[in-house]
């Protein structure tokens, strides 16, 4: 039997590393960490005690092909400290959001997409 300890990282495909780093590093404020010298471009980010790995793959089949915000698509969920401040920051950055402060989950949600259409849920412990 496999004894799972925890989730280590999530990898997502992107097509333009500079554009992706602008979004994940500057817009979302994730801290970039060192990455081994693979023979393909990418970037790694720290998310609490987990990691997010961006992999540049221009011909990937894993991209959705749209930046339409759809909460039922596969997505990455990131817990944020403040729902209100996160929503204000995203709007100030010109990021399109799907705001779901009241829904069936016990936490408020904000859905966005990165420039390649990867869906990201930002949620908080409570509505503030």
Residue 4 lies inside a defined structural domain of this protein: no
Rounded to the nearest 10°, the torsion over CA 113, 59, 37, 19 is -40
Average model confidence (pLDDT) across the chain: 94
Provide the CATH number for the domain around residue 102: 3.10.180.10
Cα–Cα distance between 62 and 14 in angstroms, integer? 9
Instruction: Note whether residue 79 is domain-resident.
Output: yes
pLDDT (tens digit, 9 = 90+) per residue, 73-92? Answer: 899 999 999 999 999 999 99
Residue 72 lies in a domain: yes
119 token code pair: 């869906």
pLDDT score, position 27: 97
Enclosing domain of residue 93: 9-59+66-124
Are the CB atoms for 90 and 110 separated by under 8 Å?
yes
- pTM of the predicted protein model: 0.92
- Burial readout 16-51 (b: 16 or more C-beta within 10 A, e: otherwise): eeeebbebbeebbebeeeeeeeeeebbbbbebeeeb
Number of domains into which the chain is organized: 1
At 72, is the pLDDT very low, low, confident or very high (cuts 50, 70, 90)?
A: confident
- Give mean pLDDT, residues 109-121: 96
- 1 falls within a domain: no
Model pLDDT, residue 65: 86
Domain-embedded: residue 2: no
- Residue 16 belongs to a domain: yes
In a domain, 112, yes or no: yes
Categorize the per-residue pLDDT at 61 as very low, low, confident or very high, splitting at 50, 70 and 90: confident
Tokens found for residue 37: 């010298």
Sign of CA dihedral 23, 76, 92, 33: negative
90-114 pLDDT, tens per residue? 999 999 999 999 999 999 999 999 9
Model confidence at 60: pLDDT above 90? no
C-alpha–C-alpha distance, residues 87 and 95, integer Å: 9
């Amino acid at each position: 039997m496999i004894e799972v300890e925890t989730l280590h990282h999530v990898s997502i495909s992107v097509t333009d590393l500079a554009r992706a780093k602008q979004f994940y590093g500057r817009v979302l404020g994730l801290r970039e960490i060192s990455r081994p010298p693979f023979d393909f471009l990418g970037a790694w980010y720290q998310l609490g005690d987990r990691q997010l790995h961006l992999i540049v793959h221009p011909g990937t089949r894993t991209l959705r092909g749209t930046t339409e915000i759809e909460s039922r698509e596969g997505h990455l969920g990131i817990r944020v400290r403040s729902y209100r401040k996160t929503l204000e920051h995203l709007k100030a950055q010109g990021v399109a959001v799907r705001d779901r402060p009241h829904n069936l989950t016990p936490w408020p949600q904000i859905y966005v997409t990165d420039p390649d259409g990867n869906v990201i849920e930002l949620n908080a412990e409570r509505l503030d």
